[in-house]
Amino acid sequence: MYHSKSILGATADFTTDMLQLSTSPFLKYPKRNTHKICFLIHSLYKQIMLKAMISTDKIKEDLRTRFIGRRLHVYDTVSSTNDVARALALEGAEEGTVIIAETQTRGRGRAGREWFSPRGGLWFSIILKPKIKAREVSRITLTVGVAVTAALNRQFNLNAEVKWPNDVLVNGRKVCGVLTESVTCDETVKMVVVGIGLNANVTLEEFSRSLRESATTLKEELKKEVSLEPLLCEIFYHIESEYVVFLKEGFAQVLSEWKALAAFIGKHVEVTVVGRKFRGVAEDVDEYGSLIVRLSDGSVKRVVAGDVKVRIV
């Protein structure tokens, strides 16, 4: 196996299968020519691989941002783009650096759940370094949710909505999830890694039966494959715009946009917090991104995003 890059299990490489194909020609040629043949075969496979890969050049052509996506790392396979991003951030990577992978072997979602990451999806993480307090980190998740939803609606004329705390829905089914992880010191945020998993060119048949009921993909909704690079650029643009509004003007503006896109404010919901369930009406989301649920006895519960599941009933 030839590795052109390797970080935390990341490879942008040629697989063993492909190299096996290349063994037979070696038998027919004198030894002195094998390096030339090897080079030719490598170039050929590289072209094939690059065709399949998300193109950094195409992204750079379309990019309309000042800092998000200006530094890009595109991998074929990583364990989790959030882990790669975190390692790069700790090594000093700049704010706005994006790590994209065609597939993840250990993609994760909220509350340690597995995140299915086959080829065709957009699996990426963004390094941010906002000057905020630890208790404000959930605001970043909501900010990114608004941005991804706006990007999908703009690019494809969809009617995507946000679902608390970190989902983007199309026709009531989850098309995207956001996983925000942070490093803090004394209540101050040192850096945030925002991981975004968007089921783009994935067919529903690839999902497990249980996921198929609640998930959807862009390919499924639009009945065609989408170009990944322009979509990424649109998402980067919206994330940067919303993030700058949040930092410069405060969270109120972003929160009101979030509420305007929210799928279930005012609806009856069932909330599961660490295995315990209760029902009520999802009344609001507060300035720290907590869900306010009114119970049948009139009392109010404030639910903090964490190991929480919410479903409309």
Task: List contacts with ligand BTN (CB under 6 A).
Answer: 80-82, 104, 107-110, 113, 115, 117, 123-125, 166-167, 177-179, 195-197
142 CB-near residues (< 8 Å, 6+ apart): 162, 165, 254, 255, 258, 285, 289
Q: Give min distance, CB of 292 to ligand BTN, in A.
A: 21
Q: What number of other Cβ atoms are within 10 A of residue 291's Cβ? A: 23
Q: Residue 107 or residue 280: which is nearer to ligand BTN going by CB?
A: 107
**Closer residue to ligand BTN (CB): 123 or 251:** 123
When the beta carbons of 33 and 272 are compared against ligand BTN, the nearer one is: 272
CB-CB neighbours of 38 under 10 Å: 14
Contact 126, 96 (CB under 8 A): yes
- In the complex, minimum distance from the CB of residue 78 to ligand BTN, in angstroms, rounded to a whole number: 8
Residue whose pair of structure tokens reads 């690019």 in the numeric block: 155
CB-nearer residue toward ligand BTN: 99 or 282: 99
Helix (H, G, I), strand (E, B) or coil at 303: strand
Cα distance between residue 270 and residue 268, in whole Å: 7
* Contacts of 50 by beta carbon, 8 Å cutoff, 6+ apart: none
Q: How far is the CB of 73 from ligand BTN (least distance, A)?
A: 13
Q: Which residue is nearest to ligand BTN (CB)?
A: 177
Contact of 15 with 1, CB cutoff 8 Å: yes
Which C-beta is closer to ligand BTN: that of 96 or that of 197? 197
Please report how close the Cβ of residue 110 comes to ligand BTN at its closest, in angstroms: 4
Shortest separation between residue 248's beta carbon and ligand BTN, angstroms: 27
Distance CA 153, CA 184 (A): 34
Residue where the block lists tokens 């005012």: 266
* 167-170/173-185 β-pairing: antiparallel
Q: How far is the CB of 123 from ligand BTN (least distance, A)?
A: 4
Shortest Cβ 23–ligand BTN spacing (Å)? 35
Q: How far apart are CA 226 and CA 195, in angstroms?
A: 20
Q: Which is nearer to ligand BTN, 64 or 113 (CB)?
A: 113
Our CB check for ligand BTN shows the closer of 109 and 230 to be 109
Please state the closest distance from residue 168 (CB atom) to ligand BTN, in A.
9
Q: For residues 81 and 201, which CB has a smaller minimum distance to ligand BTN in the complex? A: 81
Instruction: Answer yes or no: are the C-beta atoms of 283 and 292 closer than 8 Å.
Output: yes
Please name which of 218, 310, 226, 223 lies closest in space to residue 267, comparing C-alpha atoms: 310
